[in-house]
Chains A and B, each alone.
Chain A
């Protein structure tokens, strides 16, 4: 019923557009640049602009209208998820775990090897505990891989 005949209302929105643009860019700053992001930012801006115009028509002054539009916009976490933005914190944790397990196992293996060659150089037994210890970085590696793929 109220589709296409609304366009004539947009007369001068230069300053307003700038302020909204700043805010929207701030909101989307964690999302990596892509064509898709550009399109969404444009869409969001266009719709916000229209909302501000509407609010002003209802008697709000420009500043209030902009603030209300921004507050009403809400939190973009859901949107980030839809855009497949990987959660950087979780991936980082997996990376730290992997690095820790690698350094940790190197330390343990070299200790065992040292004990082996120092005290019983004639019998090579350090390979057995080495295999046992290797499970640690291996499992961390796969956890990290799974995170990365998702």
Chain B
């Protein structure tokens, strides 16, 4: 029973996080212009390694955000592998982020209302 339950909750959690990845990554770019590896490192360190993003997923999110005009990219300074590609948030991105934050707050409140008091 126990062995069955644990991986399941883990799956649910990663699903919920996946649904908010766009907002999470947008938030990190909102704080300052960042590049890919920096973002994946930041996510790991902020969650104390409890959540690690797969790089492949990260690039998919970049593509989507850029296509929707929420972020823009530019090339920064040189490093060994080539030029780093940095991302900056656009005005539209900021608006989206604000909305996403409110939506998340609302969602959290609703789920709390329905789930609180359980052990």
CA distance A2 to B64 in the complex (A): 26
Known: A46-B85, A79-B63, A82-B63. A73 touches B78 (CB 8 A): no
Interface residues of A in 31-50 (CB under 8 A from B): 39-40, 42-50
**Mask of B55-84 contacts with A, CB within 8 angstroms, 1/0:** 111011001100100000000111111111
Chain A interface residue count, CB cutoff 8 Å, equals: 34
CA distance A144 to B54 in the complex (A): 34
Which residues of the other chain, B, contact A7 by a CB distance below 8 angstroms?
Answer: 77-79
Sorting the interface of chain B by its residue count into under 10, 10 to 19, 20 to 34 or 35 or more gives 20 to 34
**12 sample A-B contacts, Cβ–Cβ < 8 Å, listed by A number:** A4-B76, A40-B59, A45-B82, A47-B35, A47-B40, A48-B37, A49-B79, A49-B80, A72-B52, A74-B56, A82-B63, A82-B67
A47 to B36, Cβ gap below 8 A? yes
Which secondary structure dominates where chain A touches chain B? Answer: helix
Tell which of A3, A43, A73 touches B56, judged by Cβ atoms closer than 8 Å: A73
CA distance A75 to B32 in the complex (A): 28
Q: Separation in Å of the B64 CB from the closest CB of chain A? A: 5
A82 to B60, Cβ gap below 8 A? yes
Tell which of B63, B67, B77, B81 touches A47, judged by Cβ atoms closer than 8 Å: B81
Which residues of the other chain, B, contact A44 by a CB distance below 8 angstroms?
Answer: 36, 55, 59
Contact of A147 with B by CB under 8 A: no
Interface residues of B in 26-42 (CB under 8 A from A): 32, 34-38, 40-41
